[in-house]
Structure 1
Amino acid sequence: MSTRAPAGPERPGRGFTAELRDAVTPRSMALVTGVLALQLGFILSYIGAFHSPTPHRIPVAVVAPAQVAGPLVTRLNGLDGDPVKARTAGSEQQARRAILDRDVDAAIVVDPRGSTDTLLVASAAGPALSSTAQLIAERLEGAEKRQVRVVDIRPPGAKDGRGLSSFYLVIGWIVGGYLAAAILGVAGGARPANPHRTVIRLGALALYAVVSGLGGALIAGPILGALPGHLLRLWAIGALVVFATSAATVAFQVLLGMVGIGLAILLFVVLGNPSAGGAYPTPLLPAFWRAIGEWLPTGAATRAVRNVVYFSGHDIARALGVLAAYAVVGTAVAFGASLALHRRERAPGGGPPGREPA
């Protein structure tokens, strides 16, 4: 014999309009509208950055006798659209060193005694950029009835397909950073209840950054062999990337509540990924993406990882500075804003500032 609890009184029937008003609140509509804006922004940003890659002032060194070098540099710098920013180098060895030091992206070595010149490239910095430099050189040399021989002095590793592993590693770190901060915000309130909670949250994210930085470095290096031989340095960069992203996300949440998560996605994914120089290096991107890429964590981290792995750590100081700035400023803003909100709430007549409970 089964027993059933007596059914409670049923709610009186309500019209569809009343149910619709309850189900579709202004808050939910605002959130969906925000998601739509991010979705369309994602499409616009990626297609806008990648639909028509065009070279812009690719740094190129020219090695040639004095009577040839000057006119050739002038011709290169005078090409329509400014695809090249040329300068002279004293020797092929100097040109090679300039490429590996990341002062230039390619070099043209003119053979004054023959009809075949050499184009030096380093495709580990981005195969698309090397291919573009080759096309420019061939177009230029074709007018002179000369041939171009391409020499890749620093190709990607055997297991680093098209040199994109650095970019994908960074994307993983970036996504982990803002998702960890967002999940803690959803679980405990986007705005922590007091400054102590903010410190605890940032401390938890710092620990997460250390662990996830190591995990990414292990996968890219010893496990898959895509970026081998740089475990400790990649670990350090990864921890900095993840904490910089998560600290900035916490700061956005303390300032803006749940809207801060959307702002983090806008900066780190919608704008950050296409401008990072991963699929297409910076000189091939339109002006807007060229301008913002190196100032966002994704672009700064991609440069740092790629140059550590393939170019002995040259030209990474600014990239590390950008990441450190996001970490330090994000931490300071998150704590400072949390302290200000807490003091305002405790002030006589202050009342709660409309934050989510933690």
Structure 2
Amino acid sequence: MSPTSLPPHRRVIAVIVLIPAVVALALWAFAWPASRTAPHDLPLGLAGPAAATAPVERQLEHRKGAFDLHHYADEAAAREAIEDREVYGAIVATEQGPKLLTASAASPVVAQLLQQAVAGRASAPDTRATTVDVVPTADKDPRGAVLSTSVLPLAMAGIGAGVAVTLLGLRGARAVAALAGSAALVGVVATALAHSWLEAVPGNWWLVAGTFALAALAMSAGVAGLAALVGRAGIALGSVVIMLLGNPFSGASSAPEMLPAPAGAIGQWLPPGAGATLLRSVSFFDGAAAVGPALTLAWWAALGLGAVVAGGVLKERGTDPRPAPQREPAFLA
């Protein structure tokens, strides 16, 4: 039964109920993580002799569940851990007082939070901690705004491509070619803007373009694949997952560990969050910790494209996976 076949009064009720439900879902998905932004087991390093770091550790542990502390022998080991994306920063115990190592490229919000935490808890009142940004953001984008805001346009592009392929009736190889071609062009355009023009996303040009393209393909294939299997309802389902869950749960504007559980973990299993994490790794950290998010995007793309192909094959064979409408026998007409 199509929506237009419903009686008018039921259509009115559907609009009255559906729109507030969507608004409530959107407010929950965006407002809840934003209102609960705080460190949750945020990886942080402590470097130096145990006797020297013990007071700092005790003070940081007052914020229960805020930090996941990792111990390193010296500053060099802590720097290496930051560059490998094992921790967001590190406090180094020195004779002159605590020294804070940060990586604003990993998250400007976390870098600022660590500076406040060290100044307020880890240092003596008459001691000012020295701060060193080990992996800084781009000079033209010190707040990392371009990378964090790229999540929404990519999500819109992915959903738009999936919807277009579905509504245009493309199937099989044609649908796959359209999705892949669209994603590749999105990657080139996004990199030309963010990398070449704005100079906000550094790194190898083609790796950055490939990351943008893979993220766009994962989202568009996910939407088109769901639509190929369950019909147009798959468009709504895919859009909700990507836009209303993947976007606010991505942690792109802060960090996954800054979101309340389980939002941060869920976001990294969805294309927007995995795409933002992979883009940071490729752009600023020479590919460190890139395997996990790359595999997540690859699985989304592979499963989505596989569903598109399978749906097209089933339709060509006349065995549409969606339930066929019941018809009365001809002799009863």
TM range, normalised to the smaller chain?
A: 0.7 to 0.9
- For residues 31 and 296 of structure 1, the distance between their equivalents in structure 2, rounded to whole angstroms, comes to 29
Q: For residues 209 and 29 of structure 1, do their structure 2 counterparts lie closer, same or farther at Cα, with a shift above 3 Å needed?
A: farther
**Long gaps (5+) in structure 1:** 1-19
Q: For residues 219 and 28 of structure 1, do their structure 2 counterparts lie closer, same or farther at Cα, with a shift above 3 Å needed?
A: farther
- 1:91 lines up with 2:90 in the alignment: no
- 1:312 lines up with 2:289 in the alignment: no
Question: How many residues in Structure 1 have an aligned counterpart in Structure 2?
Answer: 322
- For residues 23 and 325 of structure 1, the distance between their equivalents in structure 2, rounded to whole angstroms, comes to 42
1:180-217 per-position Cα deviation (integer Å, ceiling 9, x unaligned):
121232343xxx6xxxx233112111111111111111
1:199 to 173, 183, 197: 173
- For residues 270 and 322 of structure 2, the distance between their equivalents in structure 1, rounded to whole angstroms, comes to 37
TM-score normalised according to structure 1 size: 0.81
Amino acid of the structure 1 residue aligned with 2:120: R
1:17-39 per-position Cα deviation (integer Å, ceiling 9, x unaligned):
xxx99884756865775554333
Amino acid of the structure 2 residue aligned with 1:90: A
- For residues 164 and 244 of structure 1, the distance between their equivalents in structure 2, rounded to whole angstroms, comes to 23
- 1:257 lines up with 2:228 in the alignment: no
- For residues 202 and 32 of structure 1, the distance between their equivalents in structure 2, rounded to whole angstroms, comes to 38
* 1:71 CA drift (Å): 5.7
Amino acid of the structure 1 residue aligned with 2:83: L
Pairwise CA RMSD: 2.7
Partner of 2:324: 353
Contact 2:191–2:205 (Cα < 8 Å) also in 1: yes
Q: For residues 274 and 234 of structure 1, do their structure 2 counterparts lie closer, same or farther at Cα, with a shift above 3 Å needed?
A: same
* 1:235 CA drift (Å): 1.3
- 1:60 lines up with 2:41 in the alignment: no
1:114-156 per-position Cα deviation (integer Å, ceiling 9, x unaligned):
3x31111011111111122222222322568643222222221
Amino acid of the structure 2 residue aligned with 1:246: S
Contact 2:59–2:122 (Cα < 8 Å) also in 1: no
- 1:297 lines up with 2:271 in the alignment: yes
Q: What is the identity percentage for the equivalent residue pairs of Structure 1 and Structure 2? A: 27
* 1:337 CA drift (Å): 3.6
* 1:336 CA drift (Å): 2.2
- Higher alpha-carbon deviation: 54-63 or 170-179: 170-179
Contact 1:62–1:87 (Cα < 8 Å) also in 2: yes
- For residues 53 and 84 of structure 2, the distance between their equivalents in structure 1, rounded to whole angstroms, comes to 22
* 1:310 CA drift (Å): 1.0
Partner of 1:185: 166
1:215 to 189, 201, 216: 189
How does 1:1-358 map onto structure 2 within 5 Å?
A: 24=8, 26=10, 30=14, 33-70=17-54, 72-73=56-57, 76=60, 78-111=61-94, 113-114=95-96, 116-142=97-123, 146-188=127-169, 197-343=171-317, 345=319, 353=324
TM-score normalised according to structure 2 size: 0.87
Q: For residues 181 and 26 of structure 1, do their structure 2 counterparts lie closer, same or farther at Cα, with a shift above 3 Å needed?
A: farther
